[in-house]
Structure 1
Amino acid sequence: MLNPDVLTKYKTAAAIGEKVLAAVSQLCVAGEKIVTICQKGDRLIEEEVSKVYRTTKLKGFSHPTTVSPSSYVTPYTPLATDAAETNIELQPGELVKIQLGAQIDGFGSIVCDTIIVPSKDGAEDVVTGRTADLMLANYYANELLLRLMLPPGLLAGGTDEEKAKAAAVKPPTQSKITSLLDKVVKSYECNLVESTTSWLFDRNEIEGTKKIVLAPAEGTKGEGVPQIGEVWGVEMGVTLGSGKVKTLDQRATLHRRTTNTYILKSQTARKTLSTIQAKFGHFPFSLRQLEEEGGDTKYKVGVFDGVRSNVLRQYELVGDKDGQPVARSLTTLAITKNGITKLGAPPALDLSKYQTDKKITDEEVLKILEQPLAKNKGKSKNKKKKTAKKGTEENENEDDE
């Protein structure tokens, strides 16, 4: 089980992530440069982290601010010194993915949301067409996946015998999870992004010993099932394309310290690695942050040596193979005895703003979507009636543990 102190650190980090995500979303307007948004987001994370746990030295980023253009699948964080990258501006109506996060004492939360870039005149009141299909497919697929993270029988009611029977049900296999999610996205004529992966989180670790891989590419597979007491980063990726991805012809700017140890030969490389370890630990960082930290280009030698020696991992940029728009979300959650607690999550989609003639018809999927994420704790009967009447899931699940 998660001890209360650890859970509080996760929640504190997650609250910072959600606050900065909201601020960065407001910065994403047509004509704004991506690099400028990322820089402002990073400064906000540093400011917010400095206000909490003042005596804790190990705190900061669990993920730098990244803003990924429409067809990008992976997080994108351009360099301030690259003329081509610094000039990339957001386009009106473009779908961009914002991903970022904070950590306290090594307990990190990461959050990702997809937004539609408003024109300079402001956002449209109603979204229609294929953009609406994509956003709704991603939203409902994510809602379904969150419910499939629940250990069987965790929220079961009735007699002890009925609870025991519910708990004895085997959790869905990873192929079953992909199959159910496929039904959701196909309802909107969309596809899952291949090898979208959710990871078990741990202290100083965002890619733990368990993972759930959706629509796995050849040679990849998930392992393990979610259990009470665990924290997970749950990711959803949906595309208007075929679901296949390709490596983009752009340099990797997102890196992370691995657990491998190797004595780097050059003093410059050792100094760079020392800077990375002190500021970012084993969490992802942007080369732009090293530029701003060191103010020179010597760090490039250190990063090159670190990647070559496998003490640093570089995250290649990946995009939709067909160049089609991609929607993504990432939620950090805790699985407790009372169900799922969303620690850091993208804001709930305002479904009234998305119109399509497509809908989910599969009975098995609809039945799962109706299930709560957590036990309802001490809320008034009026509130429960109101929630049931609305028929929405989100209101039931806020802040439940």
Structure 2
Amino acid sequence: MRETFLPFAKPSLSEEAISEVVDSLRSGWLTTGPKLKKFEAMLREYHKVQYALCLSSATAGLQLALMALELKPGDEVITTPMTFAATLNVIEIVGATVKLVDVDRGTYNIDINNIEAAITDKTRVIMPVHFAGLPVDLDPIYSLAQKYNLTVIEDAAHSIGAEYKGRKIGSFGDIQVFSFHPNKNMTTGEGGCVVTRDNDVAKHISLTRFHGMDREAWNRFGKEGSAHYQIVYPGYKYNMMDLQAALGLHQLPFLDVFIEKRTKLVKRYYRKLAGFDPLILPKQPQYVHKHAWHLFAPTLNSDVAKISRDEFMSKLKQMNIGCSVHYEAVHLYPYYANKYGFKKGDFPNAEAIGENVVSLPLFPDMTEREQDDVLEALYTIFN
């Protein structure tokens, strides 16, 4: 058994990134400023996109993207029950109605074959989630969006750096929202980003992310800036700080390297766990050009394992192996069950995943020796 605890996730921070943060501290400019503008420019270049707008979180990005579409009460947003609660929460916050479609059992992504049946005359948005960094099959979704005049907001919190049919997620389509939480493939501590090609959406988010002011602090407090501003829309305090962007400046250039390291470890997991009946490994569709591998999240084969998911996780932690749950099916949480009448059995695939999924350790600096410790723990538990 390991002597020290192995976390299931850990950010990779270079000395250059740390020095960049220190430089921000010494400069006296901590909040939104020139480093954020540089970081946004790098994100635009990386995705070959016209607009990249950083915010305090991906949740803020999803909320403001929905607000930019001016949804009305009763307007429906189609999404998945197999996601973090934020995906549904923002729909509720903007006053729209949640419409759920079950997921594919093998990929954990929304089942594209059942989306059209969920579309009504009140549907305005389809919000697919690229679970664990695996792109959803987007061509059929955008075909439906065109057919029914809908907007697609991709919850891409897990998938910066992923590619669909040779194109980066974020380089095409309507709106994509990324997360830079410490557990994600790259981090700014906390934070997120909306990328889009839509000028109206970008303008709306640019205003609402900082109080609805027509100029941000770095444009007002500099030598050439004017202290005067106008409030042109009631906005929020969702801006990203230079302190955060300082990390991003040194994370984005290494994102593809981080994903390569994650992919190498995942391939080794698949080799070592081939034929290991207590775990069911996620499926990888042929259309995916590049999986971002934010998570490696198999499900427990309860018929074979003979223990519950929670018992399994407890045993892993006793052996100093970190793990987590991504995610329990959101429709069974009290708020959504009470409001919409959702119940067990409504979305059986999401429920089966939610009851049995376990995220195992995966991060760029993880060594093969550390991965062997995980594998040894698995073999020991199910011996």
Place the TM-score, normalised by the shorter chain, in its bin: under 0.3
More strand, by proportion: 1
Normalised to the residue count of structure 2, the TM-score between the two structures is 0.27
More helix, by proportion: 2
Q: Relative contact order, CA 8 A, sep 6+: which one is greater?
A: 2
